Amino acid sequence: MNIAIKNAYALIGGKIDRHSIYIEKDKIAGIDKAPEGFRAKKVIDGENRLVIPGIVNAHTHSYMAPMRNIADDLPFMEWLTKGVEPVENSMTDEDAYWGAMLAMAEMIRCGTTTFNDMHMHIFSTQKAAKESGLRAVLSRGLVGDKYNKSDRRITEALKEMSEGDNANGRITYMLGPHAPYSAGFDYLRGVADIAKEQGLRIHMHLAESQAEIDNLKKEQGLTPIEYADKAGCFDVPFIAAHCVKVTDSDIELMAKKGVSVVTNPASNMKLGNGFAPVKKMKEAGINICLGTDGAASNNTLNMFHEMSLLALIHKGVNDTPVCIGAEETIEMATINGARALGLDNVGKIEEGYKADLAILDLNTPSMVPRNSLLSSLVYSANGSEVDTTIVNGEILMEGRELKTLDLEKILYNADHMMERLGKA
Ligand SMILES: [Zn+2]
């Protein structure tokens, strides 16, 4: 559908000014000047509106959304074994679908337009992503010790890629070895070989906790970063979730190999893992992106919450207010994520880019007065200001009403699923 957004505030090239944006099919076809012969099917009045690039959640597990607020404030192993695992192990494919649908509804409501997801139930997240209209990058989580060609999980991952519906290119795939403690060296090397052969990216949890570092050092004499590199994983574009506990030489290695890092501040704090050295990694030239991780360890998928945490934590940790600023934070939550995911024309408001946008209502206390709209996005907005979400030129929410999803049905199913799984 051709859409014209007339005379709104818009974040373009790091600056917020008044602009008109013209959308033709799935792309931004013009800024301030409509393309020749353009006829808008819909006109959005930009008065009191701020248009930003759609937000990219670069690391999550959408099927886990119903696990929010279970087993909180407990030691890590108790959280995992008494909270997360019993639910995870009894979830059916249909449960995972409704879990993912709950996540999609939450993401659309907070202006997220792309998410990078590691999951266990093939086709469930894919079906939900297709129906929601969101842009998705999916990896089936891979866990194993010795590599063999007929490994069940690898076979499933490749099956999802080859047999699933990619929603006209809106859904793409990576390989997702879970973590150094769940993917043995031989297995990981096998996964890296497949990635090289098939031109796939790799998405993996790395260096999340001190226990992971200590065990791997004892067993392999390597840091998680060295481990992944030695297995050949960094020979393809690699996206590393967490990197909380990394050494200076790990940082140097990741910078050299062009690894992208996804920092997940809420999840790292909630599980008592600390803070990733974002300032240092950024100074080394690493592409830093932002993610929420799953709702079991966050407990929301609200990237506005995450942006605020990211900017504030690193000022505190580094004892300086001049550290990760608002503009940089927004870049980490948009264009940097898109770059890491191999989505070349996503993450910016620019002619020729995909029409993935979030439109915020400025007529709300958190956005007034308009001293700095850029600052308000990171330091005072909370996500509820998002009025309209557009992906691939399709309106997924308008006036806070979801257009592609039946919210009532999703909430009912997610709630009843947890009652059945004994955790409500
Ligand atoms: Zn994760």
Which residues, chain by chain, have CB under 5 Å from ion ligand 1?
A: 293
For 355-405, write each residue's pLDDT tens digit.
999 999 999 999 999 999 999 999 999 999 999 999 999 999 999 999 999
Q: What is the average per-residue pLDDT within 269-284? A: 96
Q: What is the pLDDT of residue 77?
A: 83
Cα–Cα distance, 259 to 29 (Å, whole number): 32
Q: What angle do CA 126, 205, 148 make, to 5 degrees?
A: 75
* pLDDT score for 378: 98
H helices within 64-144, ranges in order?
A: 76-78, 85-90, 93-109, 124-132
% pLDDT > 90, the chain? 94
Ligand 1 centre from 348 Cα, in Å? 25
- Say if residue 268's pLDDT is above 60: yes
What per-residue confidence (pLDDT) applies to 1?
Answer: 87
Q: What is the pLDDT of residue 76?
A: 83
Centre of ligand 1 from the C-alpha of residue 290, in Å:
12
What pLDDT, in 10s, does the model give residues 291-330?
999 999 999 999 999 999 999 999 999 999 999 999 999 9
Encoded tokens for 377: 């996005």
Q: The tokens 């996500």 sit on which residue?
A: 383
Q: Mean pLDDT for the chain?
A: 96
Distances (CA, A) of 198 to 96, 158, 164, 194, 359: 28, 10, 17, 6, 37
- Ligand 1 centroid vs 135 CA: distance in angstroms? 19
User: How many angstroms is it from 340 CA to the middle of ligand 1?
Assistant: 16
Given pLDDT bands bounded at 50, 70 and 90, which one contains residue 423? low
Residues 103-114: tens digit of each pLDDT: 999 999 999 999
Taking only the tens place, the pLDDT of each residue in 40-84 is 999 999 999 999 999 999 999 999 999 999 989 998 888 888 889
Identify the pLDDT of residue 75: 87
- What is the pTM for the complete model shown? 0.98
Cα(206) to ligand 1 centroid in Å equals: 10
The pLDDT tens digits of the residues spanning 187-224 come to: 999 999 999 999 999 999 999 999 999 999 999 999 99
- Separation of 21 CA from ligand 1 center, angstroms? 35
How close is the Cα of 242 to the center of ligand 1, in Å?
8
Whole-number Å distance, alpha carbon 1 to ligand 1 midpoint, is 35
Report the pLDDT value the prediction gives residue 286, as an integer from 0 to 100: 98
Average confidence (pLDDT) over 88-115:
97
Q: How far is CA 213 from the centre of its chain?
A: 24
CA distances from 65 to 69, 137, 190, 411 (A): 10, 17, 31, 11
> Going from the N-terminus, what domains does the chain have, and what CATH number goes with each?
3-53+355-407 (2.30.40.10), 55-340 (3.20.20.140)
- 115 C-alpha to ligand 1 centroid (Å): 12
* Those residues with Cβ within 8 angstroms of residue 155's Cβ, 6 or more apart along the chain or in another chain: none
- Å from CA of 168 to ligand 1 middle: 27
**What is the distance between the alpha carbons of residues 102 and 28, in angstroms, rounded to a whole number?**
29
Asked, as a colleague might, if the bond just before 299 is cis with ω within 30 of 0, I would say: yes
293's tokens: 């991780």
Q: How many CB atoms lie within 10 A of CB 102?
A: 27
* 352 CA → ligand 1 middle, Å: 32
Q: How far apart are the CA of 171 and the centre of ligand 1, in A?
A: 19
